[in-house]
Amino acid sequence: MSRYIDLHTHSVFSDGSDTPAALLAAAVRAELAAVALTDHDTVAGIPDFLAAARSCPAIEAVPGVEISTSFSGRELHFVGLFIDHSCPELKLFLEEMRRNRQRRNEAIRLKLNKLGYVLTWDDPVFSEVTDSSSVGRPHFARALMQNYGFPSMQAVFDKLLKKGCPAYVPRELPDPVRAIRAIHAAGGVAVWAHPVYRECNERAWAKRIMKRFAPLGLDAVEGYYSMFGPAETAMILELSAMYGLAVSGGSDYHGKNSPGVSIGTGAGKLRVPAELLSRLRPPAS
């Protein structure tokens, strides 16, 4: 029987709703061969994740992280897999990322307050985040839904939080090479996450990024993703082969914070072959 993996998930330590142990339990129920915890800009959940894995020998728990960067006016996200979460260089880099995130969050909160949407950091939505430095726009959206009657998170983003809206604040993000180097310093592999979005010229964009960053340390690209159809996966598989990159894949699972996205199967059709692990795995792991 074919087995599958999920190498892109989030817990309460960033913007997911599951504890690391609950996330691992969900992956076990889905009969996955491996699952990676890749919270945004933090590795704080990794110890709990690995501790829970010790009682689940049927599944491989892969320690990871997701790092946001900026290049040519667009965000690029990199997932680091098989990392040493205790690596000092990685921890210092992530601390810088979280400080930048906290400054942005306070700027968003002040803008919302001036617009009449008064929120405090004592709000239950913020208090339930295990690592307060991992609060992001989805948490603001949930707080506004609960306090001001917005019908959905998308409605909040469309009115207030997305780029061009009155409470939007741009992120201060590092260059991709810094993220790749931090991942490598921790012994991990650097994966370009969710590289295409079914927009115009996405093939040209994907080629540009792979051509530029493969020689600079990029190891792999996500070819299997919840929002990809067969055409997107086929394109990424073709381009990854062209530039000598390994292929990864994952659901981008956030628990109840991303309704309709399940661990292992994404929106229902995702299947990431376990065979991909052999090329992704660092030589020493």
pLDDT tens readout for residues 200-231: 568 999 999 999 999 999 999 999 999 998 99
Higher-confidence residue of 200 and 113: namely: 113
Alpha-carbon span 239 to 203, nearest angstrom: 9
Q: Has this prediction a pTM greater than 0.85?
A: yes
- Residues contacting residue 276 through CB under 8 Å, at least 6 positions apart: 5, 246, 247, 248, 249
**What mean pLDDT do residues 5-15 have?**
94
Kindly tell me if the per-residue pLDDT of 131 is higher than 80.
no
- Residues contacting residue 277 through CB under 8 Å, at least 6 positions apart: 5, 33, 34, 60
Kindly tell me if the per-residue pLDDT of 285 is higher than 60.
no
Measured in residues, the chain has a length of 285
The closest of 113, 78, 79, 102 to 172, measured between CA atoms, is: 102
Which two tokens mark 175? Answer: 């260059």
Q: In what order do the strands lie in the sheet with 246-250?
A: 246-250, 220-225, 189-192, 74-81, 60-71, 34-37, 4-6, 272-273
At 202 the pLDDT is 87
Higher-confidence residue of 167 and 138: namely: 167
Looking at this protein, which amino acid is placed at residue 176?
P
End-to-end CA distance of the chain: 25
Alpha-carbon span 43 to 14, nearest angstrom: 9
At 284 the pLDDT is 64
Q: pLDDT of 246-276, one tens digit each?
A: 999 999 999 988 889 999 999 999 999 999 9
Q: pLDDT-derived band of residue 80, with 50, 70 and 90 as boundaries?
A: very high
**What mean pLDDT do residues 77-88 have?**
98
Which two tokens mark 148? Answer: 């001001």
At 193 the pLDDT is 97
At 283 the pLDDT is 76
Q: Are strands 189-192 and 220-225 parallel, antiparallel or unpaired?
A: parallel
At 198 the pLDDT is 58
At 139 the pLDDT is 86
Residue the block writes with tokens 């292992």: 264
- Where do the structural domains in the chain lie, given as residue ranges? 4-94+173-280
Alpha-carbon span 250 to 265, nearest angstrom: 9
Q: Are strands 220-225 and 272-273 parallel, antiparallel or unpaired?
A: unpaired
- Residues contacting residue 191 through CB under 8 Å, at least 6 positions apart: 7, 78, 79, 80, 81, 219, 220, 221, 222, 246, 248, 280
Element holding 190 (H helix, E strand): strand 189-192
Q: pLDDT-derived band of residue 114, with 50, 70 and 90 as boundaries?
A: very high
Other beta carbons within 10 Å of 72: 9
Kindly tell me if the per-residue pLDDT of 12 is higher than 80.
yes
Kindly tell me if the per-residue pLDDT of 243 is higher than 70.
yes
Higher-confidence residue of 285 and 197: namely: 197
At 1 the pLDDT is 62
Q: Are strands 220-225 and 246-250 parallel, antiparallel or unpaired?
A: parallel
Average pLDDT over the chain reads 93
Q: What fold characterizes domain 4-94+173-280?
A: TIM Barrel (3.20.20)
At 200 the pLDDT is 54
Alpha-carbon span 105 to 136, nearest angstrom: 7
Which two tokens mark 284? Answer: 């020493």
Give the 3-state secondary structure of 139-171.
HHHHHHHHHHCCCCHHHHHHHHHCCCCCCCCCC
Higher-confidence residue of 26 and 199: namely: 26
Element holding 66 (H helix, E strand): strand 60-71
Q: pLDDT-derived band of residue 129, with 50, 70 and 90 as boundaries?
A: low
At 101 the pLDDT is 87
Q: pLDDT of 18-45, one tens digit each?
A: 999 999 999 999 999 999 999 999 999 9
